[in-house]
Chain A
Amino acid sequence: MDGSIWVAFVTGLTAGGLSCMAVQGGLVTSSLAGQIENEIAKPKGKKQSKVPQKPSIRFVKPIILFLISKLVAYTFLGFLLGSIGSVLSLTPTVRGILQIAIALFMLGNALRLLNVHPIFRYFSFEPPASIRRMIRQKSKNQENIFSPILMGFLTLLIPCGVTQSMMALAISSGSALTGGLLMFAFTLGASPVFFLLTYLATKLGTLTEKYFTRLVAVALVVFGLIAFDTGLNLVGFPFTISRFTQQVRGDQSTVQASTGVLGSQTQNIPTLAPQNTGNDVYIQVQDQGYYPYKSIAKADQTVNLHLVTDGVYSCSRAFVIPSLDISKILSATGEEIVEIPPQKAGTELYYSCSMGMYSGMIVFE
């Protein structure tokens, strides 16, 4: 599965589920509780409590209906957002900038949740009062199975901060299919947490919600930093955490040894790719990244970059060179040749996957 889809799923499973619960949970539980109440007792007066004292097995069906409805709605939304992104035909650099903006939004949201400063409250979008009122009114009419389905769809109007970030990511994917898959994976990931917390919601009060808020904030910081880092990779920024991590892990390797500039990194010459000759540079594209991490090419002449794949199914197949605006979708198995125009000696050309997760560089000498 594409790495970015996994990231979306894990984001949903951790930060997404908790964050969505914080925003939509109260509304949903009160509406579901209302439905249960209608089933087990005569409708009560306007001023009476709608929340039963113990969670009931009868919650399961409406919650599942709600979650399925939400999953369908958000997948469709992702599809639409991806379509919008494809129409806009975003370049790798624009995608990188968008991703950095998403990262800043996530980090701002984390600081908002931690109540660091009132200014961070502006990182939260509230639906207008009229829409809030409409959702509330709809949630009270719990007479049949269509109500939880309707509620699932209505959550589109009150997306949490993490969901909003994911929506922006769906746009930046520039593909209807990827956008739909991203939102599907994210919403699916958020569902188990949402289910459990909704089910237990009658026992979870505001206090618990506040406790989860901190958990969400921590998760947001982690995912925000990852998004920021991948965004920097996408715009071709040389100093990123992922590049540094590759160095520390010893994954970084160099083909066609050079003196001085590369230092000890030249010790690990891989056997994965054919040896570079003349104007040809070979890069082995794998599920976990690009090998070698660093390649040496001749300056002042056109270079043929051979991208070799062999059963690759991760996002490393979506290859981009931000500074040259080159973007290629590689076949799972095969070889694609990318022609790189002459570069001056000393130029460092950074490339990455389209999500900025995997990266590499070519040095011209």
Chain B
Amino acid sequence: MKIETFIVSDMHCPACVMRLEALEDELAGVKRITANYKKQNMIVEFDEMQITSLEIKDAVTEIGYTIA
């Protein structure tokens, strides 16, 4: 398992937090996502064998957010 922090700079309300965390149920290999509106980031715990950082970033971009 790998834990990585991503910057999501355009979260504009706590609803975005829940929307991003919902990816936890959508992406195979992602064990846990904890997003933080105040810090504008999301901490993702995932299995590198099943999903890559790039795929996570793509999923975030797909639902309308900018991730770094």
Check A136 against B12 for contact (C-beta < 8 Å). no
Task: For B12, give its contact among A30, A115, A127, A129 (CB under 8 Å).
Answer: A115
Stretch from A21-29, A185-193, A307-315 that touches the partner: A21-29
A205 near B12 with CB under 8 A, answer no
Complex CA distance for A115 and B26, rounded to whole angstroms = 29
Q: Judge whether A264 is part of the interface by a CB distance below 8 angstroms.
A: no
**Other-chain contact of A23, B15, B26, B65 (Cβ < 8 Å):** B15
Q: Is A206 an interface residue (CB 8 A)?
A: yes
Interface check A54, CB cutoff 8 A? no
Residues of chain A in range 225-249 having any CB-CB distance to chain B below 8 Å: none
Picked from A46, A121, A135, the residue with its CB within 8 Å of the CB of B37 is A121
Instruction: Determine the distance from Cα of A145 to Cα of B39 in the docked complex, in whole angstroms.
Output: 38
Q: Are B13 and A27 in contact, with the CB atoms below 8 A?
A: no
- Report the minimum CB–CB distance from B2 to chain A (whole Å): 19
By beta carbon, the residue of chain A nearest B19 is A26
Interface string of A185-205 (1 = CB under 8 A from B): 000000000000000000001
B37 touches A124 (CB 8 A): yes
Given A124-B14, A126-B14, A132-B17, the answer on whether A46 and B26 have CB atoms closer than 8 Å is yes
B3 within 8 A of A: no
Q: Does B25 contact A (CB under 8 A)?
A: yes
Please report the number of residue pairs spanning A and B whose Cβ atoms sit closer than 8 angstroms: 60
Q: How many angstroms from the CA of A62 to the CA of B21 in the assembled complex?
A: 24
A25-B15, A46-B26 given as contacts; is B64 within 8 A of A121 (CB)? no
Instruction: Please tell me if the beta carbons of B15 and A24 are within 8 angstroms of each other in the complex.
Output: yes
User: In the complex, which of the residues A133, A158, A210 has the most CB atoms of chain B within 10 Å of its own CB atom?
Assistant: A133
Interface size class of A (residues with CB under 8 A): 20 to 34
Across the interface, do A47 and B26 meet the contact criterion of CB distance under 8 Å? yes
Number of interface residues of B (CB under 8 A): 20
Cβ-based interface call for B54 (8 A) = no
Report B-chain residues with C-beta under 8 Å of the C-beta of A118.
38, 40
Q: Which of A23, A46, A209 contacts B25 (CB 8 A)?
A: A46
Q: Given the interface contacts A23-B15, A47-B28, A206-B64, does A129 sit within 8 Å of B37 by beta carbon?
A: no
| A285 is an interface residue with CB less than 8 A from chain B | no
Interface residues of B in 32-46 (CB under 8 A from A): 34, 37-38, 40
- List A contacts of B18 (CB < 8 A): 26-27, 132, 135-136, 158
Chain A residues whose C-beta falls within 8 Å of the C-beta of B26 in the assembled complex: 46-47
Docked complex Cα distance between A25 and B15 (Å): 8
> In whole angstroms, what is the CA distance A121 to B10 when docked?
12
Please tell me if the beta carbons of B38 and A136 are within 8 angstroms of each other in the complex.
no
Q: Which of A133, A210, A213 touches B21 (beta carbons < 8 Å)?
A: A133
B13 touches A30 (CB 8 A): no
With a cutoff of 8 Å between Cβ atoms, the chain A residues found around residue B68 in the complex are: none
Question: For residue A136, which residue of chain B has the nearest CB?
Answer: B22
Q: Which residues of B are in contact with A by a Cβ distance under 8 Å?
A: 12-15, 17-19, 21-22, 25-28, 34, 37-38, 40, 63-65
List 18 extra interface pairs beyond A27-B15, A113-B12, CB under 8 A.
A23-B14, A24-B15, A25-B15, A46-B26, A47-B27, A47-B28, A118-B38, A118-B40, A121-B37, A121-B38, A122-B38, A124-B14, A126-B17, A136-B22, A140-B25, A158-B14, A205-B64, A213-B13
Q: Can you spell out 16 A-B residue pairs with CB atoms less than 8 angstroms apart?
A: A24-B15, A26-B19, A46-B25, A47-B26, A47-B28, A113-B13, A118-B40, A121-B38, A126-B37, A127-B14, A132-B18, A136-B18, A136-B21, A136-B25, A206-B64, A209-B15
A-to-B contact residues, CB < 8 Å: 22-27, 30, 46-47, 113, 115, 118, 121-122, 124-127, 129, 132-133, 135-136, 140, 158, 205-207, 209-210, 213
